[in-house]
C-alpha cells in the first residue's frame, strides 16, 4: 500500500491533492494507495474536506521501506525526519527544486511551474479525470482556488484557471461564491495561538547567512490578525528558536485588496523589508501593495 502525503502544516492543496492522487492510484492505476496527513489541516482545508464529504486522512506513521508518493513539496524540511529511509516512488510538485531529496533508483518526478499540485494531477490523469467522482473533482477545484486565491495570485497560469473553470462547470459550482466560503473558513483563525499562526504556513529560507522562517497568512480579514500584532511579535523569538531560525517574517496577505502587510518587530526585519521591497518601513508594520505570493514575490527578492 502506497502512502501519499504532502507537507507539514497541511493546507488545502497539500491535504486534498494527496487524497486525489491516492484515489487515482487505487481506482485507475490499480495500485492500492492511501492518503495521509503530516499535521492538523488548516481551517480552509478542514472546511474543504467537510464540504465535499471526504473523511480527514489519518496522521502519517512512516516506517523504513514504506512506499510513498510525495505531493506538493520536494523539501525534506517539510517531510518526516525518516523520509530518507522510505522508498519514494513519485514526486508531484509545483515548488522550486530545493535540492535536498534524493532517491536510490530513478522514479517518477513531475514538477511544473503551475499554481497548484492538483492542476498537474489533472494533466497527468488525462482522460481518467472523467471517471473521477464529484468529491475528487471538487477537491481538485478547491486546491486551485486555494492556491491561486481565486485567480488573484500572480502564480496563476491560464492553464490553472482553465482547469478550475472546467471542473466548476462539471460540478455546477459558482466559483466566486464557493471561493468566498473557502476564504472565510481560512480567515477564521480565532482558535489558533500566536505560535500556531506563525507556523501554520511557514517555509524555511536562508539568505545572507540568516536562517529565516517566511510565514504567510492569507485572509479576507487582516484586521483580525493585526489586532493580535503585539502578541504575535512577542511570540516570534520563541518560534524562531524552536525552528532553529534567526527570525520569523510574518506576511499577512489581504486576499481581497491584493496586498500584504509585513510585521516589523525589529531592525533586522526593517532592513530586510527595505532592501527586499524598496519601501521605507518606519512603524511596526509595512504594507506591500500587490504582494500575494511567497513563491513569486517574496522568496525571489529577499535580501538581508
Residues forming contacts to a copy of itself in the complex (CB under 8 A) are: 91, 94-114, 295-296, 300
Closer residue to a copy of itself, CB minimum distance, 6 or 41: 6
To a copy of itself, the closest distance from the beta carbon of 131 in angstroms equals: 21
Distance CA 149, CA 249 (A): 21
Q: What secondary structure letter does DSSP report for 201?
A: T
Of residues 137 and 203, the one with the C-beta less far from a copy of itself: 203
Closest CA to 191 of 43, 44, 62, 1: 43
Residue 117 CB, shortest distance to a copy of itself, in Å, is: 11
Cβ nearer to a copy of itself, comparing 192 with 205: 205
Q: Indicate the residue among 290 and 300 with the shorter CB distance to a copy of itself.
A: 300
Question: Which cell numbers in the block locate residue 59?
Answer: 496522521
CB of 246 to a copy of itself, least distance (A): 21
Q: Which is nearer to a copy of itself, 53 or 65 (CB)?
A: 65
Cβ-based nearer residue to a copy of itself, 98 or 196: 98
State the minimum distance, in angstroms, from the CB of residue 104 to a copy of itself.
Answer: 6
CA dihedral sign, ordered 18, 20, 22, 25: negative
The minimum distance between CB 87 and a copy of itself, in angstroms, equals 12
67-71 and 87-93 strand pairing: parallel
Taking the complex as a whole, the smallest distance from the CB of residue 74 to a copy of itself amounts, in Å, to 9
Q: How far is the CB of 296 from a copy of itself (least distance, A)?
A: 7
Q: Specify the residue, 104 or 172, whose C-beta has the smaller distance to a copy of itself.
A: 104
Closest contact distance (angstroms) between CB of 75 and a copy of itself is 10
Place of cell 481518467: 128
- For residue 166, the 8-state DSSP code is H
Rounded CA gap, 217 and 11, in Å? 11
Cα dihedral 115, 121, 126, 130 in deg (nearest 10)? -100
114/149 with CB nearer a copy of itself: 114
DSSP 3-state of 203: strand
Rounded Cα distance between 203 and 77, Å, is 9
Sign of the C-alpha dihedral computed for residues 85, 89, 90 and 96 taken in this order: positive
Amino acid at each position: 500500500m502506497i502512502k501519499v502525503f504532502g507537507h507539514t502544516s497541511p493546507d488545502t492543496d497539500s491535504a486534498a491533492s494527496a487524497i486525489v492522487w491516492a484515489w487515482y492510484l487505487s481506482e485507475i492505476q490499480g495500485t492500492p494507495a492511501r492518503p495521509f496527513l503530516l499535521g492538523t489541516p488548516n481551517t480552509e482545508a478542514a472546511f474543504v474536506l467537510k464540504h465535499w464529504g471526504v473523511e480527514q486522512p489519518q496522521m502519517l506513521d512512516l516506517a523504513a521501506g514504506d512506499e510513498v508518493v510525495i505531493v506538493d513539496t520536494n523539501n525534506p524540511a517539510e517531510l518526516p525526519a525518516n523520509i530518507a529511509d522510505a522508498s519514494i516512488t513519485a514526486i508531484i510538485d509545483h515548488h522550486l527544486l530545493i535540492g535536498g531529496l534524493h532517491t536510490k533508483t530513478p522514479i517518477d518526478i513531475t514538477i511544473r511551474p503551475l499554481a497548484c499540485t492538483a492542476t498537474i494531477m489533472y494533466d497527468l490523469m488525462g482522460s481518467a479525470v472523467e471517471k473521477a467522482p464529484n468529491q475528487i473533482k471538487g477537491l481538485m477545484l478547491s486546491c486551485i482556488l486555494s492556491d491561486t486565491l481565486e485567480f488573484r495570485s500572480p502564480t496563476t497560469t491560464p492553464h490553472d484557471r482553465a482547469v478550475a473553470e472546467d471542473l466548476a462547470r462539471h460540478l455546477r459550482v459558482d466559483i466566486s461564491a464557493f471561493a468566498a466560503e473557502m476564504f472565510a473558513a481560512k480567515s477564521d483563525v480565532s482558535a489558533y495561538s500566536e505560535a500556531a499562526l506563525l507556523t501554520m504556513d511557514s517555509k524555511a529560507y536562508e539568505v545572507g547567512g540568516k536562517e529565516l522562517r517566511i510565514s504567510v497568512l492569507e485572509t479576507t480579514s487582516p484586521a483580525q490578525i493585526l489586532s493580535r500584532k503585539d502578541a504575535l511579535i512577542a511570540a516570534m523569538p520563541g518560534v524562531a528558536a524552536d525552528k532553529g531560525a534567526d527570525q520569523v517574517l510574518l506576511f499577512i496577505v489581504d486576499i481581497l485588496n491584493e496586498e500584504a502587510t509585513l510585521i516589523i518587530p525589529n531592525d533586522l526585519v526593517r532592513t530586510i523589508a527595505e532592501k527586499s521591497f524598496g519601501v521605507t518601513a518606519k512603524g511596526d508594520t509595512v504594507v506591500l501593495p500587490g504582494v500575494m505570493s511567497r513563491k513569486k514575490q517574496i522568496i525571489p527578492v529577499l535580501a538581508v
